[in-house]
Copies of this chain bind each other. A is one copy, B any other.
Amino acid sequence: MNKTELVGLIHKKQSFLCVGLDTDINLIPRNLHKHADPVFEFNKAIIDATHDLAIAYKPNLAFYESMGLKGWESLEKTMQYLEQFKDSVFTIADAKRGDIGNTSKMYAKTFFEHFNFDSVTVAPYMGEDSVTPFLEYKNKWVILLGLTSNKGSSDFQFLETGEGKLYERVIKKAQQWGSPEQLMFVIGATHPEEFKNIRAMAPGYFFLVPGVGAQGGDMEKICDNGMNNECGLIINSARQIIYASNGEDFADAARNTALYTQQQMTKYLNAPNT
């Protein structure tokens, strides 16, 4: 999916919501366990209930890998199921990969060829050759960790480097590697005060924003400080939506939460300053 198409989706659905498929077999409703693949059944029900409200889905690889072969299979089935929505949904492999060039090339193959994801999250520590193999795919995206939402983001990302903090250096440097048509940044919702600065540094780039909801980020501040004239934000919500209920009504409950979030987003999209 290219940027024009992504921006088109946002306007059409009046939403910039990404649903995080952090599907944990221990947290899904008991009644799904009768199925051969409960994780896939859960994802399918969540997708069916929310795909008109969400513009993106983000499976978190760790949750699938931790189940071994079975989890890998659930992820393959989820991606196959999402194929029918490939023009109306942007897919994100939340994998946080990154390795030397020849290895990153293999990871790119995994996510872009094998699974056919639109994008993958990538860690910046190893620098240019760990990122560029992912940028060689047309209409596929790297979502590079900039400023993450977790507590540990303060350990290294805020270090002063002489010319700005480490996360600022990452965001500046990476713009030499990829254009706003192929590169986004992860910017955690738990740092709303940084968004104005980051938006000024990377005006045309999309930001994937985790940490709204369970992690406590404030959507209004983020929109005020982080939007650009193409929206420029994809806000992820996982636990708050997919586990809105732990009963048999989980899909309806997920839809209600997604709908509430999408309605808020419509307001921000149509606010006079955007």
Contact = CB atoms under 8 A, between A and B. Distances in A.
Contacts of A24: 106
Interface residues of A, number: 59
Copies of this chain held together in the complex: 2
Contacts of A76: 68-69
B162 A106 contact: no
Interface in A37-61: 60
B96 A98 contact: yes
A103 interface: yes
Contacts of A99: 60, 62, 94, 96
A136 to B, nearest CB: 15
Interface stretch (A81-89, A146-154, A219-227, A241-249): A146-154
Nearest to A111: B65
Given A66-B114, A69-B69, A125-B148, 19 more contacts: A60-B99, A60-B103, A62-B97, A65-B107, A65-B114, A68-B72, A69-B76, A94-B99, A96-B99, A100-B148, A100-B152, A124-B155, A125-B156, A128-B151, A128-B152, A129-B150, A129-B152, A156-B166, A161-B161
